[in-house]
Amino acid sequence: MLDGLTLDQLRVLVAVAETGSFRAAARRIRRVQSAVSHAIASLEAQLGVQLFDRAGRRPTMTPEGRALLADARAVLLRMDTMRARARGLGDGVELGLSLVVDTLFPIQVVAHALDAMHRTYPSVAVRLRAAPLGEPLVALREERCTLAITVGEEFREPEIQLEALSPVAFVAVVAAGHPLAGQPGPLLPSALAEHLQIVLEDASARSADKDFGVLSPSTWRVAGQDIKHAMISEGLGWGRLPLWAVESELASGRLQRLDVAALGRHGRVDLEAYLAHRNDRPLGPAARVLRAALHARLHGSPADGAGAAPQAEMR
């Protein structure tokens, strides 16, 4: 009966399939060859199918054996994952980690840090979402995420703890074919008044009555950084984008920087990025590994609370 199947039998099956013989499998799992042969024969009897053809010098898997081998590997993988998760629970490791990242922050940096966390705690499930402006902190306040990364100084709450990560360079840009392209600066707001500005809209209510860096009376408001980027690249208007997101287009000449004095020196401002979490929710082991990996990626060393050299821009 299938109820009598054991994990040991499945491990023996995988060992024989991977090593190509009962003898080699016995060496790998430190058993005598007769024990391996008995385990396979017992498994075949319980399953009611022949797993190996023993007619030749070396056993070869039957089609049925190859089909069931995939199932055996899947069962063993799930069991190993369950054991790892159980060990993690004993150590206080989180079951899952959710992260909301400001759209201005380079997601490649987050991916690198998550990879480091996954290698340390492979059983921790991850949910990742990008959101603009005040939404990361709103999600954190409403306990829809464990950690958030927010950019800028506008959004702060007393119950949220912020830790500086690194500056993000933010630049005013326009498509090469736009009328503003190539105009000498610094440009005054009056020079921008007749041109459409593409503005990111906050999905949360945190900045419903606020505008950040809006100089043109004519605006299009969009709900995502990718949409804003696409609109500007197509020449529909001008706007500000993170430097890391437009470096290749600036290098190729498809986009051009605008020297807008009202938006920072040569149209650039460096906004600080912060890692945020709730004061009443101390970071667990996986979150601490992620935090250290972010600092290591950005500064070349784990966070020590102070002294990390800031970056002028992130790629």
Domain 2-90 architecture: Orthogonal Bundle (1.10)
CATH of region 167-270: 3.40.190.290
The whole-number pLDDT of residue 206 equals 53
| CATH fold match for the domains 2-90 and 167-270 | no
For the domain 96-166+271-299, what is the CATH superfamily, name and number? Periplasmic binding protein-like II (3.40.190.10)
Per-domain boundaries in the chain: 2-90, 96-166+271-299, 167-270
> Could you read off the pLDDT of 272-309 as tens digits, one per residue?
999 998 877 778 888 989 999 999 998 875 554 333 33
The whole-number pLDDT of residue 231 equals 92
The whole-number pLDDT of residue 105 equals 93
Mind spelling out the 3-state secondary structure of the chain? CHHHCCHHHHHHHHHHHHHCCHHHHHHHHCCCHHHHHHHHHHHHHHHCCCCEECCCCCCEECHHHHHHHHHHHHHHHHHHHHHHHHHHHHCCCCCEEEEEEECCCCHHHHHHHHHHHHHHCCCCEEEEEEECCCHHHHHHHCCCCCEEEEECCCCCCCCEEEEEEEEEEEEEEEECCCCCCCCCCCECHHHHCCCCEEEECCCCCCCCCCCCCCCCCCEEEECCHHHHHHHHHCCCCEEEEEHHHHHHHHHHCCEEECCEHHHCHHHEEEEEEEEEEECCCCCCHHHHHHHHHHHHHHHCCCCCCCCCCCCCCCC
Range 236-248 average pLDDT: 92
**Whole-model pTM?**
0.62
Range 210-222 average pLDDT: 75
The whole-number pLDDT of residue 58 equals 84
Range 195-214 average pLDDT: 68
> Could you read off the pLDDT of 89-137 as tens digits, one per residue?
555 667 788 899 998 999 999 999 999 989 988 888 899 999 888 889 8
Range 36-65 average pLDDT: 87
pLDDT, averaged across the chain: 83
Q: Which residues, other chains included, contact 149 with Cβ-Cβ below 8 Å and sequence gap of 6+?
A: 99, 100, 101, 102, 105, 110, 136, 165, 273, 274, 275, 276
The whole-number pLDDT of residue 81 equals 63
The whole-number pLDDT of residue 127 equals 92
pLDDT above 80 for 155: no
pLDDT above 80 for 70: yes
The whole-number pLDDT of residue 290 equals 92
The whole-number pLDDT of residue 310 equals 36
